Structure 1
Amino acid sequence: MSTKEKHIPTIFLSYSWKDFEKAEKIEKDLKDAGIKVIRDFNMNYKDSITKFMKRICNEDFAILLISNSYLNSPNCMYEVLELLKDKNFEKKILPIILPKTKIFKPKEQIEIIKYWENEIELLNNDLRELNSLANINEIIESINHFTEIRKSISFFISKIKDLNAKSFEELNDSNYKPIIEHIGILKDDIIALTLELIKIPNLSQREIEIDNLLEKYPKNGNLYFLKANLYLEEKKYKKAEKVYLKLIESNAENIGVSTIYNNIGICYNKQGLFQEAINSYNKAIEINPEEDLAYSNLALLYDEKLKDYVNAEKNYLLSIEKNDLSSLIHSNYALFLSKKRNYLKAKIHFEKALNLKFENPIELSNTHYSFANLLHLNLFKFEKAKKQYESSIKLNPKKFQAHCNLAVLLKNAFKDYEAAAFYYNEANKINPKDSITLNNLGNLYQHHLNQKELAKHHYLKAIEFDENYAEPYNGIGFLLKDEFPNKSRKYFEKGIAVNPNNSKLQFNYAKLLLEKFNLKDKAKKHYIKSITLNFKFHTNENNLLFNVKSIVIGGYR
């Protein structure tokens, strides 16, 4: 029997919005393998019966993502109540237990029952406090609904236990084997083989296995879709584009055309073909107006590449409207708002992003880092910024810039010089040739920790790795000025040769010339140069020291 002739089961996905990221992953994995997954993105409590029952009756199976938030959700439990009425209930449901779900011990089950009893009691108490009982149909309906949940919750949990429900980790590690076996897919079936392909970490090996399967199933659209996705992951954008376009020409079944156009848009964008990318994203939206990723990608393109901030914001807002539960979309919009100096609104969207779940710890680390920068540099919430930097580093210990910025915060806001040195040293381990970090360590050791040899070592290392960076010349020049004035002079002069517009170098060099070499006219010249670059060096004390009566920007009288 050919792949086209064989019935591919359809699965309805029931989950709590708090478990959105897990639902996204399961849907993507199963769809990539060629299984049709149905989700209701905009199901409201009032229309959940009609919409859900209409869909569940037409689909073969229902995955239930069981979590404590699922069991405490009126909408989710409404779906469960309706499912319990189906005579094929036990055959249809595919329960998946999410991490930290507490349902297996009697005490944990009692806590769930008590939760619903409390919800019923709260509504009844509110009802009794009303002066009039007119127009309370919805409240009565909710009380009845919660009462039905209370009656059925124990039975439902016992069924989940009897069915030997698997954990999310077990299913993910086994390539969803219990599910695909239950829905009638054999281990050598193309769908089962495709699920195994997705989990191969080595991209070259994955491509070989895809090609091997394509020899056996030369017309399988899902395999070509996986190959195109692989090229996309490998940054072979032209190759990916060609495979995606062939998929559209072949009218491949079971593959979302809007998703393909969105991915083609990514290929064009990465090749610098921005108008073509815009056209592809818009085509994806035309086919599926709910394609939130297309709106999000459009927003990023307008924002980062075309600097068209009006269209960028329009599409950021549309992507959030279509998918308010995407952590990455909220994070990207927050970054956009930060650039536009709308700091308070950016803060709101960073907080929304962090209240949602990230599957990718690197993306979560980056969001903590960006939020920390906002709190640190724009909102001056130093304690909160410190916690966000620490969260970023915990998730990604190799986040170089997070170590550096936390060090700056600890040094300037908290005056915690030992801790600042620790984080600069951690940054130095990640990027040992970064001259700015080495120079900053030198400054800490010289001016705050009284460790002159360590300061000298780091200044010299900074110069070794970047001889055209002026700051460490100033640092070591200042360090040596009292004991080794001639060496100090050479370093100041080298620094000024590298960058004659460094005001600190000019000022410190002027003081050295005056105090150690008595070169008054030359010192005066460099002092005036420092002031033209940065007026903060102009004080009456300094004017007297260098015999300058009055200073104006650009010269003196």
Structure 2
Amino acid sequence: MDLNRYYIIYKKSCRDKINKIVNDFKNIGLIIIRNELDKNKIKIPKRGFEDCNFIVFVDSTMLKQEKDFDKVLNSNMKNVLFVCDDELDMNLRTSYINLANLYKEKYNVIFEKFEECKKDEYKELLYIKEIENLDLRVKGLEKFKEEHGETKNYLVLKANTIYRKKMFKTARDLMDKALDIELKTSKENFEYANLLEEYYGEYTKAKKYYEEAIKLKPNYYDAYYNLAVLMSKIFNDYEKAEEYYDKLISMDSEDERAYYNKAIIVMSQTGDKDKAKALYERAIEISPKCSAAYNNLANLYLSKFEDYEKAKECYEKAIEIDKKDFTFYFNLANIYKIHYKDYNKAREYYQKSIKCEDNIYSRMNLAMLLEENLGDYREAIRNFEKVLEIQPGNKVIIDKLKYLDEKLMKNLTITLEKNK
């Protein structure tokens, strides 16, 4: 099977572990599309992916989802490979490979399974990619060219290498030459657009090729989705983005991302809180473990409906789903501080937020809470000092620390006077 296109499924918390696979594949012209889960459930896309090879990265929480594994394994999809975390002792009823071994063997298992006819070419290019000296890498590529010719994957790696040498025009010419070899079908246009977007950040050109992919394949789901994201996040054309999300919903009413992203646009552009609320609720109905949707719905209840109890429930649900996102704890702490005046609870959740990720927002709010509401000046000083570590030279914090030191000294003097 020579599909030359990959789809990697992994949990958000495992992003750093799979970055090397993504970068290696892109460098030699193998398109690898990310599907980042914010939940444990393994979900193989329903349609339009018959020509994809799937790599499912498995961690300990996903191992517990045995029914999901059974569903994937019984789906008659021959193009699925499981990769496990280095630290796991896997006991699946299917083939899998350890991540460390995958890197060590230069993806040999993947290429043998999916790219038999090109495995030697890909492995050789990956060895060349590992050469840190760019001049020596170019020499290795020229030697490869003598043996294999100017293949598309050779041209892509050479373009990426020349790009790093800051020879941008030459790199672009090489990339264009690589594309002249194929760029004829909707799939090829989509792959090039994806490469332009993710690797080079050339969003205008990426948009053009996504549109060309849709011309060739009018219901190209992935192309519409990537276009919708581009139009909203890069071009700020929210009207067009919403149009694309509506198209996506008409094609697949079970993709929670379309409802979630459209809700964000609705709130930012029209402020229609009821419509946004319905969209977030639909996203949650489709994907009950979508923590981000619960968080945004909580924000909506808080700022637009002033329903603090509902907001608190949604933040708590987000935390129940994802206990590692500091923003959920931070938002819940703010509710306890501002709306319930429960300062001890607020302190607890600011501390939990910091435990997830030592961030300036929680440190600052905790320090202010300790000073203004709990009168714990020593702990306030400790947290303001942490803020100063994150933002050295912040004059406001320096002045605040000076003020609190003086206040502590004054309180100490008063106490000593009383005890005479």
CA contact (8 A) 2:249 2:255 kept: yes
Matches within 5 A, 1:312-391: 312-340=311-339, 341-357=341-357, 364-391=359-386
Helix, strand or coil for the counterpart of 1:294?
A: helix
Asked if residue 208 in structure 1 is aligned to residue 228 in structure 2, the reply is no
1:284 Cα deviation from its structure 2 partner: 1.0
1:384 Cα deviation from its structure 2 partner: 3.3
Aligned twin of 2:104: 162
Asked if residue 270 in structure 1 is aligned to residue 265 in structure 2, the reply is no
* Mapped partners of 1:294, 1:49: distance in 2: 22
Helix, strand or coil for the counterpart of 2:406?
A: coil
CA contact (8 A) 2:381 2:404 kept: no
Aligned twin of 2:175: none
1:403 Cα deviation from its structure 2 partner: 4.3
Aligned to 2:406, which of 411, 415, 438? 415
* Mapped partners of 1:13, 1:35: distance in 2: 8
TM-score between both structures, scaled by the size of structure 2: 0.58
* Mapped partners of 2:229, 2:19: distance in 1: 15
AA partner of residue 259 (structure 1): R
The sequence identity of aligned pairs, in percent, is 20
Cα deviation, 1:145-196, whole Å, max 9, x if unaligned, reads xxxxxxxxxxxx6x4673358xxxxxxxxxxx99xx9xxx977654475155
CA contact (8 A) 2:336 2:342 kept: yes
Aligned to 1:48, which of 64, 75, 82? 64
CA contact (8 A) 1:330 1:350 kept: yes
1:296 Cα deviation from its structure 2 partner: 0.7
Aligned twin of 1:116: none
Alignment CA distance shift 1:289-1:62 (3 Å): same
* Mapped partners of 2:392, 2:63: distance in 1: 46
CA contact (8 A) 1:350 1:371 kept: yes
Count of matched residue positions in the alignment of Structure 1 and Structure 2: 301
AA partner of residue 264 (structure 2): I
CA contact (8 A) 2:210 2:227 kept: no
1:357 Cα deviation from its structure 2 partner: 4.3
1:63 Cα deviation from its structure 2 partner: 4.1
Is the radius of gyration larger for structure 1 or structure 2? 1
RMSD: 4.5
1:24 Cα deviation from its structure 2 partner: 11
Alignment CA distance shift 1:199-1:394 (3 Å): farther
* Mapped partners of 1:302, 1:52: distance in 2: 33
AA partner of residue 412 (structure 1): Y
CA contact (8 A) 2:193 2:207 kept: no
Aligned to 1:13, which of 5, 10, 14? 10
TM-score between both structures, scaled by the size of structure 1: 0.45
Q: Which blocks of at least 5 consecutive residues in structure 2 are unaligned? A: 26-30, 42-58, 108-121, 127-151, 157-178, 180-187, 408-420
* Mapped partners of 1:236, 1:383: distance in 2: 49
Aligned twin of 1:222: 222
* Mapped partners of 1:323, 1:27: distance in 2: 25
CA contact (8 A) 2:319 2:328 kept: yes
Q: Which blocks of at least 5 consecutive residues in structure 1 are unaligned? A: 1-5, 72-76, 96-156, 166-176, 359-363, 417-557
CA contact (8 A) 1:207 1:230 kept: no
CA contact (8 A) 1:264 1:280 kept: yes
Alignment CA distance shift 1:47-1:34 (3 Å): closer
Helix, strand or coil for the counterpart of 2:366?
A: helix
1:277 Cα deviation from its structure 2 partner: 0.8
1:49 Cα deviation from its structure 2 partner: 8.2
* Mapped partners of 1:337, 1:316: distance in 2: 11
Aligned to 1:81, which of 78, 90, 114? 90
Helix, strand or coil for the counterpart of 2:91?
A: helix
* Mapped partners of 1:27, 1:261: distance in 2: 30
Aligned twin of 2:129: none
Aligned twin of 2:135: none
